[in-house]
């Protein structure tokens, strides 16, 4: 066994441990059962981490903490691959490195896009994938994904068909529109609508609607990218029909309304109703484009009352109404466009339509979700987003207490308290969803450490913090997920 001079003098034996590190090839060769490329990458990472730890330990002065495997007095611990008197054990070092490399390889083998348990209470959580799909939509994706489909094929005539035909009639039935088109998201739908209807001309928008939705999506920039020219009217808080009238001219291509999705202006405010705007457009021969936001198709439900109803915009006479598929509609990511046959056909023929078109899996999920919307009561039960928003006190309390009992039995300090959750995703920003949640005392861990452990687990658990406690909100969990969350939290604190 080699002994470092520094070790004899009482200093850290880093040089000897560095010499004992195996080669990448040697360590990778021990990782049987792991694909070669992944084994090499894991071995390289494990050796690099160990080398960095040893080099860091070399700089520690007397009495300072040492790196992994090195005690403050310079002795090599058993975990560090040596005996208590400083002997370096190459076999021990190799064993520890193999363990680390296998752990790294296991982490790398996990899918990067993974399911998580959402205990935040934010229903349409953009960072967590927005709307979870209904069972019917998941089944539809599986059926279409498992083989070939009639995506663009007319089974009756045996000729080429349109991918939009699978949802167009459903959207017409649900919204009253003459025609419909589906693209990959609502931002794309708005861009396509403006480009197809008003490119090279002026688009008139209220200053109070020049919003930024997120990810630098700004209405003025979308209009600019479409090739149209923006004309601002009114003020931030008050816009009247006369403001639009004065902006009309021979070069006006469209009037545009944009829903304030993720904020509201309250107080001394005034805006033009969609019916009045469409009447002005009809009199002037100018089409109206409406970015309606989150896709509220279910009508007569109090919690959705703050969102513009798509059917209302269509009935008012909008040329194109754009809305999201994966927010309050409760379906897959999609930008839905409904409206007059002529305007929708112009959008369909525009070159951007192909660049933005939706794929077969999105269309399958959207069709299944729309079919649920044909029966509003069923939609409220079976579409997860709508069911979560409408969940009652008794249901939420039973689920919160289920988690609290499981955690208390595991010795975790927990209580059920009242807190607020949100719709999220830029939907219903003023809606405060009060209900019971589990408040977990993170001791003996720091709150940040408990949250980190929950994120690192399988499946990851995402929760929210409030006043030093971790809140587990039952609104975004079903009973099975609630039990899993309680287990994960108990394990993390064990």
Weakest mean pLDDT among 68-72, 182-186, 305-309: 68-72
Q: Does residue 3 contact residue 86 with C-beta atoms inside 8 Å?
A: yes
Average pLDDT over the chain reads 88
Bond preceding residue 187 cis, omega within 30 of 0:
no
Domains in the chain, ordered, with CATH?
Answer: 5-109 (no CATH), 117-125+390-493 (3.90.1150.180), 135-382 (3.40.640.10)
**Residues 255-309: tens digit of each pLDDT:** 999 988 777 788 888 999 999 999 999 999 999 999 998 888 888 787 787 788 9
Instruction: Grade residue 15 by pLDDT with cuts at 50, 70 and 90.
Output: confident
Which pLDDT score, from 0 to 100, does residue 70 have?
Answer: 33
Residue 408 CA to residue 441 CA, distance in Å, equals: 11
Alpha-carbon torsion angle 207, 213, 218, 219, nearest 10: -50
List phi, psi (to 5°) of 472: -110, 110
pLDDT tens string 301-315 = 877 877 889 999 999
Predicted TM-score (pTM) of the model is 0.85
Q: How far apart are CA 110 and CA 484, in angstroms?
A: 19
**Which of 20, 21, 15 shows the shortest CA–CA distance to 74?**
15
User: Do residues 445 and 462 make contact, with C-beta atoms less than 8 angstroms apart?
Assistant: no
| 385 phi/psi in degrees, rounded to 5 | -60, -45
Half-sphere exposure of 301 (CA within 13 A, CB side): 21
Average pLDDT value for residue range 221-250:
95
**Of the ranges 104-118, 274-288, 347-361, which one carries the lowest mean pLDDT score?**
104-118
**pLDDT band at 60; cut points 50, 70, 90:** low
């Amino acid at each position: 066994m080699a002994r470092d001079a520094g070790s004899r003098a009482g200093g850290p034996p880093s040089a000897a441990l560095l010499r004992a590190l195996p080669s990448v090839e040697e360590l990778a060769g021990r990782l049987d059962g792991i694909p070669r490329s992944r084994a090499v990458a894991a071995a390289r990472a494990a050796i690099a981490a160990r080398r960095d730890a040893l080099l860091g330990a070399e700089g520690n002065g007397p009495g300072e903490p040492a790196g992994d495997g090195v005690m403050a007095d310079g002795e090599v611990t058993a975990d560090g691959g040596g005996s208590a008197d400083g002997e370096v054990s190459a076999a021990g070092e190799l064993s520890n490195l193999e363990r680390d490399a296998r752990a790294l390889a296991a982490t790398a083998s996990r899918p990067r896009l993974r399911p998580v348990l959402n205990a935040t209470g934010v229903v349409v959580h953009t960072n967590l994938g927005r709307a979870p799909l209904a069972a019917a939509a998941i089944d539809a994706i599986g059926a279409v994904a498992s083989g070939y489909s009639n995506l663009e094929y007319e089974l009756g005539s045996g000729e080429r068909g349109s991918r939009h035909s699978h949802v167009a009639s459903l959207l017409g039935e649900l919204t009253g529109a003459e025609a419909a088109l589906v693209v990959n998201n609502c931002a794309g739908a708005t861009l396509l609508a403006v480009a197809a209807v008003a490119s090279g001309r002026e688009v008139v928008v209220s200053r109070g609607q020049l919003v930024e939705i997120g990810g630098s999506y700004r209405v003025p920039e979308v209009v600019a990218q479409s090739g149209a020219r923006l004309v601002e009217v009114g003020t931030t808080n008050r816009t009247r029909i006369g403001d639009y009238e004065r902006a009309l001219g021979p070069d006006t291509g469209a009037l545009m309304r944009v829903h304030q999705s993720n904020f509201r202006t309250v107080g001394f405010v005034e805006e033009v109703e969609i019916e009045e705007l469409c009447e002005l457009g009809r009199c002037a021969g100018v089409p109206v484009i409406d970015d309606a936001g989150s896709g509220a198709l279910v009508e007569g439900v109090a919690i959705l009352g703050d969102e513009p109803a798509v059917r209302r915009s269509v009935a008012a006479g909008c040329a194109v109404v754009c809305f999201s598929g994966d927010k309050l509609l409760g379906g897959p990511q999609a930008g839905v466009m409904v409206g007059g046959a002529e305007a929708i056909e112009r959008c369909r023929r525009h070159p951007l339509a192909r660049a933005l078109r939706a794929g077969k899996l999105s269309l399958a999920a959207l069709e299944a979700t729309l079919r649920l919307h044909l029966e509003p009561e069923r939609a409220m039960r079976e579409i997860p987003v709508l069911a979560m928003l409408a969940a009652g006190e008794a249901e939420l309390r039973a689920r919160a207490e289920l988690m609290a009992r499981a955690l208390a039995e595991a010795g975790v300090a927990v209580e059920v308290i009242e807190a607020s959750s949100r719709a999220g995703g830029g939907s219903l920003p003023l809606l405060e969803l009060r209900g019971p949640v589990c408040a977990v005392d993170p001791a003996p861990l720091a709150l940040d450490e408990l949250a980190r452990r929950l994120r690192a687990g399988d499946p990851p658990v995402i929760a929210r913090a409030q006043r030093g406690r971790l809140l587990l909100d039952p609104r975004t969990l079903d009973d099975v997920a609630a039990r899993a969350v309680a287990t994960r939290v108990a394990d993390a604190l064990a």
